[in-house]
Amino acid sequence: MSPFIYVRDLGKRFGALTVLDGVSLEVRAGEALALLGANGAGKTTVLRVVATLLRPSRGRATVAGLDCVKEAEQVRRLVAYVGHGSHLYEDLTARENLKFWMTLADAPVADDAIQGALAAVDLDRAEGERVRRFSAGMKRRLSLARLLLVRPRGLLLDEPFASLDQAAKKWLAEHLLAFKAAGGAIVMSTHSFGRELDVADRVAILAEGRVVLDTARAGLAADELQRLYALHAEAEA
């Protein structure tokens, strides 16, 4: 079965700075790949190229066989990207945010569907409150509520567990596992080696714009992984 997300020999330059220098990855439906790497290794850049936010300098990225550059509009309907920004209007309520984004995405939803999505992420009691008053965890859950309504086939997450408390982390991990079980593909970047890595089926380490290690997660203990990381990632520095 061909991979859902396919990245081949991806290169990206910003002026004189080379951030990606030949990255190749594959992620199948129902699979989650964790991208590890130091700051500046290129994790965010890879995600943004697949999300159609950046054009690569060379190489290609496809989602479900669709080219991320030439068929960007169609790719955007298939994958959802959650980056560092919250993509939420602070002065609108949770409900209004969802209504806006869904209508703009050409998928207007009925009020009870919005209610249902908010309930699924445990925000139904806060639905009339302005997002400005939300905690980081609540904002992350609201972003996820939006994703649930959009029903993408792939998720591209840039450090999704950052600045979440333990309860929120547990909750997010559960939802990602459910997403995977339903056939979705996930690529997520992360800094840490905690429990969030349990979501991943495979791990890839990025250093100096290249993939230095791409292996199955199963059977790899956390400290073993940390050792490998130190070996490959920091060795390149």
Partner 1 sequence: MVRILGWLTLLALGAGLVMAFGVAPREVTQGNVQRIMYLHVPSAIIGEYLAFGILLLASIGYLATRSEAVDRVAHASAEVGVLFLAITIVSGSIWGKPTWGTWWTWDARLTTVTILFVIGLGYLLLRGMIEDAERAARYAAVVGIVAALNVPLVHFSVYWWRTLHQPPSLLKPGPASVSLSLLVALLINIAAFAILYAYFVAKRVNLLRREAETLA
Partner 2 sequence: MSFARRALIVFWKDALVERRTKEALNALVFFSLVLLFVFQFALGPDRERLVALLPGLLWLGFVLSGMLALGRSFLIERENDCWEALLLAPGDKSAIYAGKLAGNLALMFTVEALLLVLFTVFFNLDLTGVLPALLVVVVLGTVGLATLGTLFAAMTADLRARELLFPVLLLPLEVPVLLGTVKATEAVLSGEGLAAASHWLALLSAADAVFVVVGFLTFEFVIEG
Residue span binding partner 1 (CB under 8 A) among the ranges 12-20, 86-94, 130-138, 220-228: 12-20
Which of these, 40, 45, 62, 35, lies nearest to 211 by C-alpha position?
Answer: 35
d(CA 147, CA 139): 13
Smallest gap from residue 17 Cβ to partner 1 (A): 10
Q: Read off the amino acid at residue 171.
A: W
Q: What angle do CA 100, 51, 212 make, to 5 degrees?
A: 150
The residue within the footprint of partner 1, chosen from 2, 9, 55, 195 (CB under 8 A), is 55
Smallest gap from residue 156 Cβ to partner 1 (A): 21
48 lies in the binding site for partner 1 (CB under 8 A): no
Smallest gap from residue 198 Cβ to partner 1 (A): 38
Q: Read off the amino acid at residue 148.
A: L
By CB under 8 A, name the binding residues for partner 2. 48, 51-55, 72-73, 76-77, 80-81, 83-92, 96, 99-101, 103-106, 108, 130
d(CA 60, CA 55): 9
13 lies in the binding site for partner 1 (CB under 8 A): yes
DSSP assignments along 58-71, one per residue? EEEEEETTEETTTT
Q: Considering beta carbons, is residue 55 or 170 the nearer one to partner 1?
A: 55
The residue within the footprint of partner 1, chosen from 2, 8, 9, 14 (CB under 8 A), is 14
Asked whether 140 and 168 are in contact (CB, 8 A), the reply is yes
16 lies in the binding site for partner 1 (CB under 8 A): yes
8 lies in the binding site for partner 1 (CB under 8 A): no
The residues that bridge with 67 in the sheet, in sequence order, are 62
Pairing of the two strands 79-82 and 154-158: parallel
Residues 6+ apart with CB under 8 A from 93: 127, 128, 129, 130, 131
Smallest gap from residue 121 Cβ to partner 1 (A): 35
Quick one: what does residue 91 bind among partner 1, partner 2, none, with the CB cut-off 5 to 8 Å set by partner type?
partner 2
DSSP assignments along 171-193, one per residue? HHHHHHHHHHHTT-EEEEEES--
Q: Is 3 helix (H, G, I), strand (E, B) or coil?
A: coil
The residue within the footprint of partner 1, chosen from 15, 111, 112, 221 (CB under 8 A), is 15
Smallest gap from residue 9 Cβ to partner 2 (A): 21
Q: Considering beta carbons, is residue 13 or 191 the nearer one to partner 1?
A: 13
Footprint of partner 1 on 90-149 (CB under 8 A): none
Site string for partner 1, 142-181 (x = CB under 8 A): ----------------------------------------
Asked whether 68 and 55 are in contact (CB, 8 A), the reply is no
Asked whether 60 and 77 are in contact (CB, 8 A), the reply is no
Instruction: Give the interface with partner 1 as residue ranges (CB under 8 A).
Output: 13-16, 55
